[in-house]
């Protein structure tokens, strides 16, 4: 069993939550979302994020709008819908519970 596979699966498991969290305060386009994930050491490629954004949009959690760009083609900005905001609130609760449970099991203290 390769550790890289397990690490990749762990990252994939929280990617939706991270994307929704990135969009909680402001709309963003894909390059901004990818940059935020990259800065956080979440290794994600465009081929992963586009299908995920489409799935979140189709689930009613995200909306999008086109905006003209001064430096190229129009950009597609994603934002949370009201349903997405409620969904993220539930995920925040679940994440905190899961984090506490994992910390208890692994005997790590919350930072």
We report the CATH number of the domain holding residue 79 as 1.10.10.10
**Structural domain count of the chain:** 1
Which pLDDT score, from 0 to 100, does residue 110 have? 60
Judging by DSSP bridges, how do beta strands 62-69 and 28-29 pair with one another?
unpaired
3-state helix, strand, coil in the chain (%, to 5): 60, 15, 20
Q: State the Cα–Cα distance between residues 26 and 49, nearest whole angstrom.
A: 18
Percentage with pLDDT > 90 across the chain: 72
Does 64 have pLDDT greater than 70?
A: yes
> Residue 59 to residues 7, 53, 56, 62, 65: CA-CA distances in angstroms?
27, 10, 5, 8, 17
Which pLDDT score, from 0 to 100, does residue 6 have? 83
Domain that residue 55 falls in:
3-106
Is residue 48 included in any domain, yes or no? yes
Is residue 65 included in any domain, yes or no? yes
Mean pLDDT, rounded, of the chain:
91
Is residue 111 included in any domain, yes or no? no
- The predicted model scores a pTM of 0.85
Does 56 have pLDDT greater than 80?
A: yes
- Encoding tokens for residue 12? 């994939």
- Encoding tokens for residue 103? 């910390």
Is residue 92 included in any domain, yes or no? yes
């Amino acid at each position: 069993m390769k550790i890289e596979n397990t690490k990749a699966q762990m990252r994939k498991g929280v990617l939706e939550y991270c994307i929704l969290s990135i969009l909680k305060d402001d709309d963003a386009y894909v390059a901004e979302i990818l940059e935020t994930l990259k800065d956080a050491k979440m290794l994600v490629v465009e081929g992963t994020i586009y299908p995920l954004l489409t799935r979140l949009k189709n689930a009613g959690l995200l909306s999008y709008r086109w905006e003209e760009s001064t430096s190229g083609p129009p950009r597609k900005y994603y934002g949370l819908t009201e349903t997405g905001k409620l969904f993220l609130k539930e995920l925040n609760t679940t994440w905190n519970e899961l984090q506490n449970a994992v910390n208890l099991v692994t005997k790590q203290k919350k930072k």
